[in-house]
Structure 1
Amino acid sequence: MAEYQRKYTDLLTEYIPGKSIEEVKKDYHLDEVIRLASNENPLGPSPKAIEAMIEAVKEVNLYPEATCEELVTELAQYYGIKPEEIVTGNGADNLINQLGQAFINEGDEVIYCTPTFAAYRSSTLLMGGKPVEIPLLDGFVYDLDGLLTQITDKTKMIFVCNPNNPTGTLLEEGRLQTFLDQVPEQVLIILDEAYIEFIQEEHYTTGVDFIKTYPNVIVLRTFSKLYGLAGNRVGYAIAQKPLIDRMKKVREVFSVNRVGHIGALAALKDQAHRDKTIEKNSAERKRLVEFFEEQGFDVTPSHTNFIFVDVKMDAVEVFQKLMEKGVLIRPCSGWGYNTHIRVSIGSHGENTKFIDRFSIVIANIKQLN
């Protein structure tokens, strides 16, 4: 048979998303399934966003406004930057692909720590680049000094996920700036801040502050996590204009749909819903951490809406047994951590059911072993 594929696709591993709620209900004959696997907002979108999106649905016969001008203008005002320093995309992963298409040439090296978000590797490989992966430090924090040691004349890009997924860890204040000062200007630094809104450290310096003085920094943000719009796929990148202009050249013309655009715009204006989400997430995260620690499990300090836990037994077995009871979590064996699970922070009721069912599953596994 003739081979039609682009040669670099042989290097890729197909991303297999976790089972959907609908699949699990059908497979296990369940009436209810709680998904704590995808870091979604259990409160859902802002009521104002829902109302705006219902109205927007009436006009889905029309193409979206290609540049998301209203949203970009609102974001620029929110951050105190210029509209031309922002580009939108179909979620953060779409923007990562844009970065690859805009900047990575065959043979370019792209550095990041592992485990982290898988799209960094796939976007690099697809463009013929070479991923350079180094492990996280003890405590599962990004090894910035280690990243610096890997820079060569072939290095095009460095990804720093902060807070990191799947570990939830945050770099200490000041570490990023020291790092940025040591990276050559010809190397792009991508600060993936998908979970940055969940951190509670006062006066923490984020990527938006850095773009004003570092022309090689690009910041990624999303409406999927804090804003509860994961199903709408709306993300954005912030950088100085020359980098944004380059990304716009490879951006799909209608990369953000009409309903997503309107929903994100309304969500951004609803400060009360954002505050409520952060408050509830903080309280429920504390509750789950205390539960896991009482059970004798190791919990990595989290600055996100999920927890990275060493349950000291086969994570896939825990995942499977929980799924049979209608609870979905993420086993971290795919990242090489065979006894770790990642648990998203659900609502109070969802977390109560998780605690009850998890306790039963763990007791049964211990009894069998």
Structure 2
Amino acid sequence: MWLEKFDKQPLLSVNRRDLLKLSGSAIAGLALSGISTQASAQEESSAAAVTPTKDKPIRINFNENALGMSPKAQDAARAAVAKGNRYAKAEIDQLHQKIATDYQLDKKSLLLTAGSSEGIRAAIEACAAPNTQFVIPELTYGDGELFANIAQMNVVKVPMKKDWSFDVEGLKTAVSSYSGPSIVYLVNPNNPTATITPADLLEPWINSKPANTMFIVDEAYAEFVNDPRFRSVTPLIQQGADNIILLKTFSKIYAMAGMRVGYAVAAPAVISKMAERVAGEKLNYCGVCAALVSMDDKPFIAYSKKSIDVSRQMMTDVLKELKIDYLPSEGNFIFHHLSVPLEEYKKHMAEEHILIGRAFPPADSWCRVSLGTPQEMLVVVETMRNMRAKGWL
């Protein structure tokens, strides 16, 4: 009955009261509405009631995909264990070719990396020249700044706009006013804000090819985006742009964070320089085999996306109900404002066995909450209501 109702309306029009009336199995069905999938393990997991404990808390602090890997990918990873005494040379080559074909590019335009972090480091090191400045928005993912500091670059942080969006004009000024080389690192959607920077603001700047400037664009969360103003930089690379490095990972939509499989897409000459800074694409057997299978499991990818959409709606609905300001999320996490100190809020949530995100200066009064499964989010939103009643939120 409930699923029939939800199947007849857009996902984002489902209201909170209807969601809270759903049984566990109905929530699983809602996430799968209109999707044919063999992800039975995830269905059962989503349908099961969640009762967090000290030993098994709800972990919504690290932007992990709580759904878990595709069952098919899990099977492939388990089967690869028996071959763990060998190098995954053939499988790595298959994955390399498969991704390149998916992007409609030559293999020379792609480099496999151990997650996106190795890609960030290799990209920075490959593009570093004497007196290179590293230009970033003030509030963004920290690995870029980490590796730029290790490379002893001058890190230039451009303040955010009042709504915590990127100040693209400020970033442009930081580059144009500098006489030496620049690396611009952009995370889109951004972390921790979960907001996008519209393509119409980025593409003209990239296409203008500012002198001695390389753009590193991290699109780890792109598969979760619903906003049509977002566009990947992939077409620019396909059209021959040589001033962009696109970084991707299997950690998010594919739920493979612990498997450490990622890749970079760029012009062949750029990829060649990056390849000198990695361990020769020596990835672990289990991760490679899981990635190969995950790419073909289209129903699971759709399932993963829609499950996050449902969880996001549940979270935004409770934030609206409690009149808490939040930023529009296009990722698998939400950034919302707090009227109490973050550490105090974290403590109270931890007492309820719910782990939430750390501080992200300069947004010290904001909290990043990753999106769990719909069943986990039922517990989270009810806990937030209880905390509001106690004056803790």
Report if TM-score (shorter chain) is over 0.5: yes
Does 1:35 pair with 2:59?
yes
Residue identity in the other structure for 2:298: Q
Whether the aligned pair in 2 keeps the contact of 1:318 and 1:362 (CA below 8 Å) is no
Does 1:260 pair with 2:291?
no
Residue of structure 1 in register with 2:205 after alignment: 179
Segment drifting more, 199-208 vs 217-226: 199-208
Residue identity in the other structure for 1:41: N
Residue identity in the other structure for 1:69: D
In 2 relative to 1, CA 182–176 (structure 1 residues): closer, same or farther, beyond 3 Å? same
Residue identity in the other structure for 2:244: V
Name which of 64, 69, 78 aligns with 1:45.
69
In 2 relative to 1, CA 150–357 (structure 1 residues): closer, same or farther, beyond 3 Å? same
Give me the TM-score of the superposition, normalised by structure 2. Answer: 0.82
**CA offsets 1:68-110 (integer angstroms, 9 cap, x no match):** 2111111112121211111011111111111222222453101
Question: SS of 1:335's equivalent?
Answer: coil
Name which of 291, 297, 313 aligns with 2:340.
313
Residue of structure 2 in register with 1:199 after alignment: 225
Whether the aligned pair in 2 keeps the contact of 1:64 and 1:254 (CA below 8 Å) is no
Aligned partners of 2:381, 2:323: CA distance in 1, in Å? Answer: 14
Bigger relative contact order, structure 1 or 2 (CA pairs below 8 A, ≥6 apart): 2
Does 1:140 pair with 2:164?
yes
In the TM superposition, residue 336 of structure 1 has moved relative to its aligned partner by: 2.2
Residue of structure 2 in register with 1:235 after alignment: 262
Residue of structure 1 in register with 2:297 after alignment: 270
Residue of structure 2 in register with 1:322 after alignment: 349
Q: CA RMSD in A?
A: 1.9
Q: Unaligned regions of 5+ residues in structure 2, if any?
A: 1-51
Q: Unaligned regions of 5+ residues in structure 1, if any?
A: 1-27
Whether the aligned pair in 2 keeps the contact of 1:148 and 1:183 (CA below 8 Å) is no
Question: SS of 2:89's equivalent?
Answer: coil
Whether the aligned pair in 1 keeps the contact of 2:227 and 2:330 (CA below 8 Å) is no
Whether the aligned pair in 2 keeps the contact of 1:105 and 1:129 (CA below 8 Å) is no
Name which of 83, 107, 127 aligns with 1:59.
83
Does 1:339 pair with 2:352?
no
Residue identity in the other structure for 1:248: A
Does 1:155 pair with 2:209?
no
Residue of structure 1 in register with 2:251 after alignment: 224
Whether the aligned pair in 1 keeps the contact of 2:123 and 2:245 (CA below 8 Å) is no
Aligned partners of 1:32, 1:205: CA distance in 2, in Å? Answer: 38
In the TM superposition, residue 335 of structure 1 has moved relative to its aligned partner by: 2.0
Matching of residues 76-87 of structure 1 within 5 Å: 76-87=100-111
**CA offsets 1:217-273 (integer angstroms, 9 cap, x no match):** 110011000000000011110001000010001111354211111111111111100
In the TM superposition, residue 171 of structure 1 has moved relative to its aligned partner by: 1.5
Residue of structure 1 in register with 2:11 after alignment: none
In the TM superposition, residue 216 of structure 1 has moved relative to its aligned partner by: 0.8
Aligned partners of 1:320, 1:122: CA distance in 2, in Å? Answer: 28
Sequence identity of aligned pairs in percent? 27
Residue identity in the other structure for 1:158: V
In 2 relative to 1, CA 300–29 (structure 1 residues): closer, same or farther, beyond 3 Å? closer
Q: How many residues align?
A: 339
